[in-house]
Structure formats: C-alpha cells, structure tokens
Structure 1
Amino acid sequence: MADEPLPPDELAVRLADVYLLVGPLYRRVLRKVEQGEEVEGIGAGVRAVLDLLRLNGPMTVPQMGRAQALSRQFVQRMVNEAAERGFAEAVPNPAHRRSSLIRLTDSGRTVIEAVIAREHALLGQIGGGLTQADVDACVKVLSGMLDALVDIDVD
C-alpha cells in the first residue's frame, strides 16, 4: 500500500531514482543561476556563500564548509571572491581569535536578494499542478536522505 513504509530493498531502489534526478536538476538550476551572473556578478559558489550568510547571519569559513558539505578551501575561495566584490567582509570573532566571522555587506544583501527574486520568478513558472503536500513530501524525502547520509559510514 502507498501509505506504508517500504521494505529496505524497495526503498533503496526508489531513493536511487530520486538521487538520479537530483544531479541533473541541480546542474540545470546552476546553469540558470550562472546565466544571471552577468546581471548580479556572481557564480553559484559565491551565491551559496551569500545565501548561507543571509539565512544564518555571520559564520566562519569552517562552519560554512560543514553546512554545505564542501571543503574549507573551496569555501575560502568563494568568500575571498565575495569579499573582493564587496559582498562580504571579515569581522572579529569573539569566540575564536584566528577564525574570523564572515558577514554580508549591504551590497551583498542587495545582490543575494536580487538573485533569489530572479530564482523565485523562474521557479514560479514550473507549474505542473504541484500541491503543498507534494512539495512537503519532496522536502521530507530529500531532507531525510541528506540527514541519513551524514550518519551512514561507507567502508
């Protein structure tokens, strides 16, 4: 029955179907974001940093890396690019002298809000008769996969 939990083998097959869709979906959205780079002046990596700061407030580079499952070095490069463009800045971290907090500048907030507005306009065109329940189920599945994969050891 559709409302009963799937046995592990069936669940694995269905979740693999979801996973195979996530990659192409991510790449298509990424291309759309980068098409707007001429307008806002940022690529996907800088966009991710700016959005993290918008959502969470000031963060350290290691915190951002952990939040996005990205290397600290990659995040540092994106932070450096954002800072060079005047979108983010380092400020003292009262909790840790050697790891500065990174925060949005007013210019960075303006840019990320413009990017998000453009993305929302684009995503609003998707249609397909999706309901709140459909979207809630999708978020639940993807969140569950993400959370579970943090805890699963692969040897």
Structure 2
Amino acid sequence: MTVDDPLPPDELAPRLAEVHLLVGLLYRRALRKVKLGEEIEGVGAGVRAVLDMLRLNGPMTVPQMGRAQALSRQFVQRMVNDAAGLGHVEAVPNPAHRRSSLIQLTDDGRAAIGAVIAREHGLLGQIGGGLTQADVDGCVKVLSMRLDTLSDVDMD
C-alpha cells in the first residue's frame, strides 16, 4: 500500500479521529484569537460569522444563515441583533417572504468585515511549513467530505 492508496475503513477511522481532535483544538485557539481581535475591530466571533456570510452571499434571512452555518435560528438572530446594534447590518424587505426580512451589510459592516478579513489573511499568510496547493486541497477535501457526512445534523 502506498500513501496514495485509499485507506481501508479500520485505518481511516483513527486517522479521521486525529483530524477531529486537531479541528477542535484549532477552533478553540482560533476563537481565542478572534476574541483578541475583537478589541481591535469590535467584532466577536458570532457577529464575524454573520458579516462574512453576508459578504460572501449577499442579503439573507436569519433562517437561511442558520441553515448555512448549522446554527440555531435563535443564535443567529442574537448575532444579527448585535451586528445591527453596531451599525453593521440592516433589515430590508424580502420580496419572497413578507414576515422574514432580508439582512444586508451596511457600508460600515462591509468596512468592518474587510478589516477583519485583512487581519486574518495577514496572520494566515505567516504560516510556514512549505504548504503546497496539494496540501491545502487535500485538507479542504477531507474536511468537506466529513462535513457532508454530518449534513443530516439538525441545529434548530
């Protein structure tokens, strides 16, 4: 067997368990880093997630954001309320659904998430280790496939 051969299930499972442990640790450390950055940009992790989702997808409803991020609608609503309190988002009429407004970025919101992304990209660009495109592609493939296997988990 070579490193390019698919792993049998009894070997794959413990390797993916290693990935889960690392992802958990990475998430917790990244969250701490975001909290440190909150002092700079004034944007916490939850608000950051809302702003970035709107940056990438355009206006969305709270339920759409919850489904997209596998988060409860109530949590997303709190983050949207926090973002609105900071002047980063606003509700606009939704032509498709009268009672569920679309949430969109304001100019201040675009500037805030732009500053957060620029700072994060600066930090991410400092990662050493000679990572290649194939390394990153492999990581994205593994995490995406694992995420797909958990797509039936309901967060609401």
Q: Quick check: TM above 0.5?
A: yes
Q: List per-residue Cα deviations over 1:39-65 (Å, max 9, x = no partner).
A: 211100000000000000000001101
Deviation at 1:83, TM superposition (A): 0.4
Three-state SS of the structure 1 residue aligned to 2:63 is helix
Aligned to 1:37: 38
Q: Tell me the distance in 1 between the aligned counterparts of 2:153 and 2:119.
A: 36
**CA gap 1:55/1:152 in 2 versus in 1, 3 angstroms:** closer
The amino acid that maps onto 2:108 is S
Instruction: Report which structure shows greater RCO (CA 8 Å, sep ≥6).
Output: 2
Q: List per-residue Cα deviations over 1:55-100 (Å, max 9, x = no partner).
A: 0000000110111111000000000000011000000111111111
Q: % of aligned pairs identical?
A: 80
Three-state SS of the structure 1 residue aligned to 2:151 is helix
The amino acid that maps onto 2:79 is M
If the length of structure 1 is used for normalisation, what is the TM-score? Answer: 0.95
Aligned to 2:69: 68
The amino acid that maps onto 2:60 is M
Q: Tell me the distance in 2 between the aligned counterparts of 1:139 and 1:69.
A: 18
Deviation at 1:145, TM superposition (A): 0.5
Note if 1:4 corresponds to 2:26: no
The amino acid that maps onto 2:130 is G
The amino acid that maps onto 1:131 is T
5 Å-filtered alignment, 1:1-155, equals: 1-151=2-152
Three-state SS of the structure 1 residue aligned to 2:91 is strand
The amino acid that maps onto 1:68 is Q
RMSD of aligned Cα (Å): 1.3
Q: Tell me the distance in 1 between the aligned counterparts of 2:14 and 2:25.
A: 18
If the length of structure 2 is used for normalisation, what is the TM-score? Answer: 0.94
Count of matched residue positions in the alignment of Structure 1 and Structure 2: 153
